[in-house]
Chains A and B, each alone.
Chain A
């Protein structure tokens, strides 16, 4: 069975600090996909990134970066120079994508990030 663990329930940092959100996953499959979603106070879920299990290159997008390490089954998310608008709940998710057209996600419990002005 697949599982996603986000051990950090809540994190608070002062604006402009860097912050890393941890994600550890479990799966028996060799092909899988990892995701991060953001849920701002307004409630919608916003897709941030998708990574497949064969691509371990780290990715940077502006102030966001992601570190994928298969050896430790982790897919951590770092926000550099945090801003108040980054305050949200962040979810890590896993898809095993065994069947075409069957792409359900298993979500972690989320990390509530609060950026203090």
Chain B
């Protein structure tokens, strides 16, 4: 158990809809990262927040947005969903200063029909 909690574990929705994925980082971790894992794109970095502020942005679509709240949990919002958005979305958190040692949640598997 990594200590990172993601909900929901599975989500099935239709094209055009909007969903929110939630992540609670490990206690004390200030950084939250979102990754997308799909068959064709592999593991892609989406976005990072550090103590409530956006820190780095990767291959995140404009239809997607995220935020980190004062209690450090984070939400990833996916809107106007397309079939190609079907993927496993991982949240990870990191120990401050320990470069790259990310602890991943179990992921949220999104299926868009």
Are B50 and A102 closer than 8 Å at their CB atoms? yes
Is B43 an interface residue, CB under 8 A from the partner? yes
Are A105 and B45 closer than 8 Å at their CB atoms? yes
CB contact under 8 A between A102 and B55, given known A33-B100, A43-B107, A107-B43: yes
- The interface-forming segment of B16-24, B63-71, B88-96 is B88-96
Is A115 an interface residue, CB under 8 A from the partner? no
Interface residue total, chain A, C-beta cutoff 8 A? 27
Is A93 an interface residue, CB under 8 A from the partner? yes
Are A103 and B94 closer than 8 Å at their CB atoms? yes
Are A110 and B104 closer than 8 Å at their CB atoms? no
CB contact under 8 A between A47 and B48, given known A101-B55, A109-B42: no
Interface residue total, chain B, C-beta cutoff 8 A? 30
**Among B48, B96, B101: residue with most chain A CB under 10 A:** B101
Interface residue ranges of A76-117 to B (CB < 8 Å):
91, 93, 95, 97, 99-110
Are B33 and A104 closer than 8 Å at their CB atoms? yes
Closest residue on chain B to residue A105 by CB atoms: B100
Are B101 and A50 closer than 8 Å at their CB atoms? yes
Q: Mark B12-30, 1 if CB is under 8 A from A, else 0.
A: 0000000000000000001
Interface residue ranges of B37-72 to A (CB < 8 Å):
42-43, 45, 48, 50-51, 55-56, 58
Are B48 and A104 closer than 8 Å at their CB atoms? yes
Are B103 and A47 closer than 8 Å at their CB atoms? yes
Is A64 an interface residue, CB under 8 A from the partner? no
Distance of A52 Cα from B98 Cα, bound (Å): 11
Distance of A104 Cα from B2 Cα, bound (Å): 18
Is A45 an interface residue, CB under 8 A from the partner? yes
A-B contacts besides A44-B105, A102-B48, 4 pairs, CB < 8 Å: A44-B2, A44-B107, A46-B2, A103-B98
Q: Which B positions have Cβ atoms within 8 angstroms of A?
A: 2, 30-31, 33, 42-43, 45, 48, 50-51, 55-56, 58, 88, 90, 92, 94, 96-107, 109
Q: Which A positions have Cβ atoms within 8 angstroms of B?
A: 33, 35, 37, 42-47, 50, 52, 91, 93, 95, 97, 99-110
